[in-house]
Amino acid sequence: MLERLLIPDIRELIAERDFATLGEVLNQWLPADLAALLANLPDDEQMQMFVLLEPAPRAKAFAHFSLEVQRRLLDALPQPDAAELLNRLAPDDRTALFEELPKPLAARLLELLSPEERRVTEELLHYSRDSIGRLMTPDYVAIGKDWSIQQMLDHVRTHGRDSETLNVVYVVGEDGTLVDDLRIREVLLAPLDNHVADLVDGIVVALRASDQRREAVDVFRKYDRTALPVIDAHGILVGIVTIDDVIDVAEQLATRELQRFGGVEALDEPYVRTPLLGMVRKRASWLVFLFLGELLTATAMGYFEREIQKAVVLALFVPLIISSGGNSGSPAATLLIRALALGELKLSDWPWVLRREMASGLLLGLVLGSIGFLRISLWSLFTDLYGEHWLLIAWTVSLALVGVVLWGALSGAILPFALKRLGFDPATSSAPFVATLVDVTGLVIYFSVALVVLRGTLL
């Protein structure tokens, strides 16, 4: 990485206390690079560098830091500098910061904002936490329908500086209702004496401020836009959402999905920055829940204790059987969680999925069953590990494998649908959850098969 290579040079400048050169160099960097460089420095040097930045690059780099670094820098800045910084932040970045701060601190920092910025921030904080309103910025260029293209370009030139994007401008009616969004490409391609009205086609894709953030991800994915307007319940344009923020949301949602699936409550913070005890707590809750479920395996095994006593050989295959169920269920769950998340499947598709997984589960079960049969038969040619009834044991294990693998695929496939139907996140059907479910039932299948096949011989 560029930043890491440059650190020795920067360090040298720090050591020489050549802050003039340092400031000159740093102020020319791209905000994202600045943030990456500073994130790699020890706290005190980080602060030394940060104060060398001019207000504009400082605010831009600040938006790239993690919350933890943001808090530390804000704390350490003199109050006037902190005030300037906060006033310069883009409204959506500021809302995200205030959201995560303890209430009293947020209230104190809110006081530092100019009346205008404070009003904006309070309005945005009014939307619920996971709503599109929280991703919004009110900094956009709004234009009238009866303007000429030339008028509009002049307006952009004088009023566009604070807009979060100039890739799209928004045509609004006199009451503030959204009429259309014009991509700047349409404007740039139009003759200068045309009017805005000539470009307006009335087809506009808009988000609703009160909708869930996930909705924004889906709409952006579908329409290939870089910014989308946000309207309230009355169709009034209240802000815009830009794609960079939506990408961050998409990434967070993907992380959550993977973590849920892996059997850990979503951390919502990077692994490296989650405190040890906080992480243990988040992992313990699921682990304990699953453990209580797994205790049922001890109950199930206890129920078959007499059979195990009579035929200890049955116990040898217990881990093999139950793990095969989990290994069959986990991929099924993955495939269906993802298909549901991407909208490839709807709730009502469950009968189709059930039939399909029945076919795959059966085929996969037959494959494993055959391998199991072969393995027991082969071993029995050379050892007497499985006793005189090895052929019956082989049949028991193979049939149980078919049943358990089929059952695993079915449970793994249907659980995401059931959870979604009940209003839970389908990704809660985590790999460990499916495995636990199939472990207990797998034991019952195995010993039931054994009772039938081995009746009169071993049992």
DSSP string of 210-269, one letter each residue = TSBHHHHHHHHHHHT-SEEEEE-TTSBEEEEEEHHHHHHHHHHHHHHHHHHHTTS---SS
Structure tokens at 26: 């740093």
Q: What is the smallest separation between the CB atom of 457 and its own copies, expressed in angstroms?
A: 18
Q: What is the smallest separation between the CB atom of 212 and its own copies, expressed in angstroms?
A: 16
Report yes or no: 314 and 450 within 8 Å, Cβ to Cβ. yes
Q: Give the distance from CA 107 to its chain's centroid.
A: 29
Considering beta carbons, is residue 77 or 239 the nearer one to its own copies?
239
Considering beta carbons, is residue 318 or 453 the nearer one to its own copies?
318
Considering beta carbons, is residue 15 or 277 the nearer one to its own copies?
277
Q: What is the smallest separation between the CB atom of 112 and its own copies, expressed in angstroms?
A: 26
Considering beta carbons, is residue 43 or 244 the nearer one to its own copies?
244
Q: What is the smallest separation between the CB atom of 119 and its own copies, expressed in angstroms?
A: 25
Considering beta carbons, is residue 250 or 419 the nearer one to its own copies?
250
Q: What is the smallest separation between the CB atom of 454 and its own copies, expressed in angstroms?
A: 17
Q: What are phi and psi of 121, to 5 degrees?
A: -65, -45
Q: What is the smallest separation between the CB atom of 54 and its own copies, expressed in angstroms?
A: 15
Considering beta carbons, is residue 98 or 317 the nearer one to its own copies?
317
Considering beta carbons, is residue 98 or 220 the nearer one to its own copies?
220
Q: What are phi and psi of 138, to 5 degrees?
A: -90, 5
List the Cα angle 375/378/383 in 5-degree steps. 115
Q: What are phi and psi of 143, to 5 degrees?
A: -130, 165
Q: What is the smallest separation between the CB atom of 219 and its own copies, expressed in angstroms?
A: 9
Q: Distances from the Cα of 265 to the Cαs of 28, 326, 357, 404, 428, in angstroms?
A: 41, 20, 28, 28, 9
Q: Residue for token digits 């690059």? A: 57
Taking the C-alpha atoms of residue 73 and residue 50, their distance in angstroms, rounded to an integer, is 8
Taking the C-alpha atoms of residue 402 and residue 119, their distance in angstroms, rounded to an integer, is 65
DSSP conformational letter for 182 = E
